[in-house]
Amino acid sequence: MVMTKTLLRICVVGALALGLWSGQAMAGVFNPETFTLKNGMDVVVLPNHRAPVVLHMVWYKAGAADEPKGKSGVAHLLEHLMFKGTPKHPDGEFSKLIAQHGGEENAFTSLDYTGYHQTVASDQLEMVMELEADRMTHLVLSAEDVATELAVVLEERNQRLEGKPAARLSEQAMQKLFPKGHPYGRPIIGWRAETEALSREDALSFYKDHYAPDNAILVVAGDVDVAEVKRLAEKYYAPIPPRGLPKRAPLTTDAPIIGGETVLRDDRVKQASWSEHIIQPSLTNGETRRVAALEVLSELLGSGGTSRLYKALVIERPLAVSVGTDYMASARGDGQFVFYASPRPGVSLDEISKAVRLETQRLVDEGLADGELARIKKRMLADAIFSRDAMKAGAYAIGGALASGHKLESVEDWPEHIGAVGEQDVLDALNAVLAEPRRITTKLLANGKGDGA
């Protein structure tokens, strides 16, 4: 499964926003137990005894951005191939054992990491840990295995990307926003021509170069005891030798973008849409105060039915059927602040764009209303507090942060950072967004329409 930035934000950023409740600062968001095995594998344990279920996850610090030049798609292909088996557990046995015990499993690939997870009854933790540790080093692949899964991946590209105009437009826009061979400029699923040419040797090379305990994070959440998790991790993961892999470098760039607008027309488009993607600092290269301010800004401008843009463009005027903002802060490289909207019939994309700019400029000129910032923070924290009880929220938040190269504190101290954001911080963040030249505008249109239609 390809994990998009939007999905990542849903899993991670929502959990990051947890924090103050009833005016009191919490000691931490998830308060995990952590330790490191002798081979360098980091382990995070998040006990949650509400149900006799456990989530077991292994995150590898290797994603599509780590692929060798000309081998795009190999990280995602390997994700598929990891289910092919080992000498101890031949093809299909991994999934069969989990299904026999009523469990669920899956995997995902993002730009910055690849993750494998199983949800089982808590008394089956040892089984899934043994299975996952086994395939960390003993994967067996045949040429036929690769050919079969390559066909699956290419069909997945057909369905999820080439068959969907909005996905193709996003692919084109990212290539322009991250030019000159920057890995964020290529799709996670790979360029078709390069993916078609991938071989068994390519997959095994990526496996050997990146799949190692000292390049992985084990996250266990649910009805577990920390001492038992440590015993099992020492039994199954600790004996695997480390590889001594070099630390990954950040992926930030100052390269100029290629063009400022990307337009795609397609007969299948039923609803026109507009977006603007703007480079902004992430947790990797941004000051904590600015990153937190961008989070609050996104909530204020474009998150939900009470946001400024929604009230102005959907309810009051109305010009749009939907409008919002997004901010991706957790990347290993640059982050993005995104505006997006879909117009009502008879409203052009140029009108939508101008209306969004007008509303953002009004915030610059007039500032926040009395009590508005306090209400935004309270809403962020109130909406997010419920995810603290969810078994998956902490596992995804912490796993995603650590696998992207961030520290545990980026999750656990987030309530304090959100609470410290002031009005001037929000306005400074907005001015920086508006002044940033590294941006791409997208327009999705039906055939026969003008650029502004």
Active site residues: 79
Q: How far apart are CA 352 and CA 302, in angstroms?
A: 14
Q: Which two tokens stand for residue 357?
A: 């700019």
Among 29, 9, 7, 3, which Cα is nearest to 327's? Answer: 9
**How many CA atoms are closer than 13 Å to the CA of 148, on its beta-carbon side?**
10
For 381, the enclosing helix (H) or strand (E) is helix 372-385
Q: How far apart are CA 343 and CA 353, in angstroms?
A: 10
Helix, strand, coil content of the chain in percent (nearest 5): 45, 20, 35
Helix (H, G, I), strand (E, B) or coil at 319: coil
Asked whether the beta carbons of 333 and 252 are under 8 A apart, the reply is: yes
Q: Are strands 439-445 and 261-265 parallel, antiparallel or unpaired?
A: parallel
Among 47, 16, 75, 96, which Cα is nearest to 406's? Answer: 16
Q: How far apart are CA 140 and CA 121, in angstroms?
A: 28
Q: How many CB atoms lie within 10 A of CB 194?
A: 17
Asked whether the beta carbons of 150 and 196 are under 8 A apart, the reply is: yes
Crossing angle (nearest 10°) for helices 372-385 and 5-16: 100
Query: Counting every residue, how long is the chain?
Result: 453
DSSP letters spanning 154-205: HHHHIIIIIT-HHHHHHHHHHHHHS-TT-GGGS-TT--HHHHHT--HHHHHH
Question: What is the dihedral angle through the alpha carbons of 445, 447, 450, 451, rounded to the nearest 10 degrees?
Answer: 40
Asked whether the beta carbons of 143 and 200 are under 8 A apart, the reply is: yes
Asked whether the beta carbons of 298 and 325 are under 8 A apart, the reply is: yes
Q: How far apart are CA 113 and CA 128, in angstroms?
A: 20
